[in-house]
Structure 1
Amino acid sequence: MTTDTGGQLYGYDLVHALDEFGEPIRGKRKINEEQAEIVREIFEYYAEGRKLKHICDDLNRRGIDSPKGGKWAPSSLVGSFVRQTGMLRQTLYNGVVTFNKMQYRKHPENGKRLSIMRPEKEWITVPIPELTMIDDATFAKVQKALDERSSKHLQRKMMPALMTEEEKRETSIRRSKEWRRKQAVTKKRANALFGGKLYCGEHNQKITATYAKHYSCPVKGCANRNLHYDEIIKLVLDAVAELDEAKIIEHFESEEIQQVRAHHAREIERLTQHLEDLRASINKVIDALGSDARSTEIRAFFDDKAEQIQRRKLDIAHHKRELAGSTPPRKLENIIQRHQNLVANLRAWSRDPEAVACMRQIIDRLTLDTASQKTGKAMCTVDFDLQSIISTNKRP
């Protein structure tokens, strides 16, 4: 968010003072403690994953005035993703004032002021630690959440008009898959942890319920028939309990994931350079256009460049999210601990709705093998959705 050194900002009071020459000092502020508490609350709530509407509704119910004196609205908190505005993006709350984000030119057609976002490398930042309200960790967490939520919203809104038919088809398939994966439990009926995910290791057929608490492979004569729920759930919980840090590290160090990371890193670099080139071409045209240029040509040029820039920004945001999703988490021990807590809850009550919902999201497939001559007992193996394990355990 561009900081105007002389403007009023929620959470601060302007200090009227004169310099040594008797001139007013612009932009001098001090923290307004009452408003600062509201700012900290907003940042903490958003970092926890609360929706903007819910945060605003809560502030309005409590009769807290917005920065402009009226009711709070999501737009005042999140601002514009493209122009990087909004209270939650205000760097001064983190003790840093940011200048030079925008440059202004006259539109060659109508004479109106035209604002253009400068490249981030041209921004100027100045630390002012005495005005810090939000700690570094919370501010960084909020910025990451803003980028993810804002770019996803823009993609849902704008991408259909920018995507090819092949991209639309792939997006539809991916969303359908994600929707099916999330159908783990409803308020009306708590599914079995393994319901719809358990397969016979010998016949590769889905093992389904036949009558009360009994499940069977559909192939007659299979050893995986007439199995009791208690027998299956014990095998399943033993299998899911085997997840450890080594398995997650192995996943992220695999050649496949390394190739994915390299691909997204290359795309971010390529698209960022393309974005810079587009901005440079706009600046050159603004400088070079003469008064004899036809207005239709000018509009067509700017419309085309604006669409290209928007598409590049959305593409960069997409690749950044994918790159982050293929990056090993910092605190694996916390993820494993939360996973083991879910297992413990399910051992105590295998129909615990919350634990079942969380666990089903991270299981792709369960395979039940009949008793072998070597072990003398049946075994269950699990194929985890490791990406879902990471995202599920990152939630507050």
Structure 2
Amino acid sequence: MPTAALYARYSSDNQRDASIEDQLRICRERAERERWRIVDSYSDRSISGASLIRPGIQALLQDAQARRFDIVLAESLDRISRDQEDIAGVYKRLTFAGVRMVTLSEGDISELHIGLKGTMGALYLKDLADKTRRGLRGRVEDGKSGGGNSYGYRVVRRTGPDGEPERGEREIDPAEAAIVRRIFADYAAGKSPRQIAHELNAEGISGPRGKGWGPSTLFGNVKRANGVLNNELYIGRLVWNRQRFLKDPDTGKRVARPNPKEEWIIQEVPELRIIYDELWAKVKARQTAIRERYVKNGGNGLTATRRTRYLFSGLIKCAECGGGYSIVYRGQFGCSTVKNKGTCSNHTRITREELETRVLNALRNHLMKPERFHAFCEEYTREINRLRMEASTGIAAKGAELKKVEGGIRKIIDAIKEAIVRQV
């Protein structure tokens, strides 16, 4: 009896968790009619199909390589992926593993389905993105929010004449607006972002999204216009489309890319002004002076003087707040939350040399005990063997693909030779 694995996915927040169960149910009914024995089911909840960085699909591919099942059954091909490259990659991996791909909508999947449906899925994503951007642009040109909300404002919920909710409406939040004015005034008076953040946190004033204040929350990035001190909405100017986001095909993470200035959409919204021009100009003048102070020999002094990474950089956590430990003073590691926000009471510091000596001595003296060393070697060997098997499987797959491509090239060359001989 053939064995089957079921796969289900949904991406929209508007869909229900029950969508997964509905997909699995109809797939299970199909498997029963075909008399396939179901060995497992995989799912990804509220995750986009534009990337394969999904735990469910990755587990399915790994089990397929281990030949746990003969068939992958899904509701439709776009549940597997909407990306052309990804859907082709999944198909090639399953085919190499000897696993069939079957969907309720398309039936047995072949190269034809991969080409057509992959193209249709990619076009669907592009069309959806274009429609979304058109809608957001129209909203921004009406002086409404193009997505998200800034500190100092609150969302206004009202219903339009057609009975539908009007989106993008907001108004000034008086309490938060007072904090914004205080931040601008303190910075213009010479206080550093770290000092301002410490004072706000000490007074128990919640920052954006209810979290504590940090220097980066205030200073942000001038070029990207993020951070409280760079938000032009505070002077009644709504700027949209400064940047676009692209998905990194390797990591699946969104990466910001700046848009040309001529593509920005700028709308005056005087009713949302919190900061007046004179105070804004003082803040911008101080930011410019600080940047110029650190520009040396045509480079950015702030970037050039970044500390190098050490043996345990990025690996140390604060036992009290869970934040990272970093170099805070002359080769000493300390809690970054204490330094940047002042919201943690753990003021313990340790020198880099002492930390490295303690950890390495502990590894040397305790890990080398026979029973622990034996357990370590077994686990290390097991993991290395697993990685080697995965690597060899990938090499074999690419080798088979290379042979197939070389065979196709030889056939084309032979056909050209034969055509030339016939003409002679």
Shorter-normalised TM range: 0.3 to 0.5
TM-score by length of 2: 0.34
TM-score by length of structure 1 reads 0.37
- More RCO (CA 8 Å, sep 6+): 1
Higher share in strand: 2
